[in-house]
Structure 1
Amino acid sequence: MRGSMDAYRVSCARMVIKAVADRGQPQRAAVIALATAIVESGIQNISEELVQGDLGLFRMGPAWGSTTQRTDAAWAADAFLDKMISLYPDRAWVTAPVGEVCQAVQGAVHPGRYQAQAADAQIIVNTVWPHVRRPEGVASVYGVLPDGRLTYTAIDAASGKRTSGPVLSAKTLGFTPKAMATLNADTLLVTESGTAGKLYRIDVQNVTGTLEFATPVYLGSGYTHDLLAYDGRYLFGITGDALRRYIITVAKPALADITGNTLIGTGFTLKTLTATGLGYILGTTATGALISYKIMGAGLWLRYQLRATTWQVFDHLLWPGGGVYYGRKADGSLYRYFDIYPYDGDGADVSGQGAVDTSGWTQTLLSAQPGTVTRVSTMPPAG
């Protein structure tokens, strides 16, 4: 594969390697799978049927699964691993020659081709493996119900299962909120709907059993933003298509602690907004594009289109850290995504991870605490 590993092939290889890592399998499983993909497809996700209806990275025939399944890189890698493990009880595939295992899974007409690609597969795995991480931690998500009560929900980052909540408050905010950003575990910023653009700080006191919060602290006016997001240092706000950035210097800011009011620029016509890291924001458009921005200062930013279509279904986008996205649909469902490399400006490594819930997320506003999801620092040992 020397000279052939372009960005697309690397993204396909990442998906295979991630599938191995997510199952807790050693590097050798990734080498076997990639050696097979090199031979069968040149590490390309074939979407048009070849001889005998073969599709996908491993040129799987119809007996493997549906067209959708076989062209889903993560599903295909899992199916390959399932068969490999079933054919080699007691993990005998760990010590068997790479080419032999590939052939056992594929049943190819020319069995000798796989072993020759084992060295290239190993090089690719050695390069990508250290950068593939599974998320860990708990995503902390705050929300506002239509009646003005606050909610708190905790989601396990690795499994996508709710571990707590929704926990509801007994009292309401006392005003109609317009936009919200979570600063930390017990501090929210919320703007009031209206021309004055009043900004409040909400101090959360408890999220166990019943969500309790102190009387909202009025900070000031002029915050007429339709969307808010916080990256751990900067507060971003969009009004119409204008993006502004503020600096927040303390955990529970007063108005004097919100400084550096900077107009970054216009043209930010986003339907949703979240922050994905220091100086990075992410949003969707009404036409379905998923857009990432690196914000460097007034009039200075980089724009990356991660997806061109299909993301218009989400009315809220959340980022708790660690490469995890959550998208809420108007029907109350919440879906999880994972971005292997969140800051590469490339959407090829963004993969759907299924639904957290198919209904029940009826909040008018949602915001995740930044940095609650991390990545593991080590992966399973090489085999």
Structure 2
Amino acid sequence: MKIATQVKLMPEVGQTAALLATLRTVNDAANWVSGVAFERGVPREYELRRHTYAELKSRGLGAQPAQHVIKKTRDAYTTLRANLRAGNLGKPGSKRRIKAESKPIAFRPEAAQPYDDRCLSWQYDQRTVSIWTIAGRLKDVRFSCSPEALNTLLKYRKGESDLVMRDGVFYLVAVCEVPEAPLNEDPAAFVGVDLGIVNIATTSTGYRAAGRGLNRHRNRQLDLRKKLQAKGTKSAKRLLKKRSRKEARHAADVNHVIAKTIVATAERTGSGISLEDLTGVSSRVRLRKDQRTSLHSWSFHQLGRFIEYKAKRAGVPLVYVDPAYTSRQCSQCGYIDRRNRVDQATFACRSCGTVMHADDNASHNLARKGKTVWTAGRESRVPATP
């Protein structure tokens, strides 16, 4: 299983200038390569290399960095095509889709640049790296990280690392291949996880992560941004920049805590996890204007990914199930009726009279669906021999 481990670089003044100049140079080169690819109909990587490699070398890039610039550009077009096929950029003929298709892909001046082991070497004991720049090889560039991250790097780092700059600070994001724990092939039950906005996650085991605190935090951040944007002074803009991504970091921390709790419960009880398949929910659901901010600012996908990779590390089975009718179906008798959902929090079955919290009811339905999906996946579909 591949995970990304991030370390913070602490370069000296001269080293900072070299790293910044390197990022700007390689991304300027990537924009030129992107233009060539766009004019030639985005050829294969080998053909694109034939048209651009010599020019990149003349711009001062080494052999490996030039290869990475070409590959980065080609991968960006591959991602764009995948998004177009999936409809993530709108239907054919939409303004957003036309805009994406009508011009070359552009890279930010400080966009990430991949490095392999020929361009980057790690000295874990000294906590330094040696890294290629356009000004030559920089040695003894210090980095800092947690003891857990250092241990992960030392044991499992494998493959490329990305040089990233955020708010004037440089980071290295390294790919680590961590072995997965042996999968529990015979889970005793499944923990159904109902996702929402009022309650971020509700499980069939009784755990409920309320979204009240996170929503209050988001509202405070939104009000503060509005005030600072309206003020418009230099100090206000400085504070806006300083607080950028604060909300996203806070939400990611909350999601990590929730995911860890759910996976730990499943591991302790020998159970699997049943998650809702919410692919495309943002585009399918129709909401009032005042509800859209709440839906689009909370990351269902991020929490799902956190639960997924933590489950793999713990050997906990995980399945995605269709969430259709889980909020309208009674988990006790199976009766489905739209009127069963009295309000956001209350479920009252019109057939058997069961009354419970609506999210608890949905989580029990998801748990049952998870068990069904897991059993169906294990059963053989090969006809029996006569």
What TM-score comes out, normalization by structure 1 length? 0.24
What TM-score comes out, normalization by structure 2 length? 0.24
Larger Rg: 2
User: Which structure has more RCO (C-alpha within 8 Å, separation ≥ 6)?
Assistant: 2
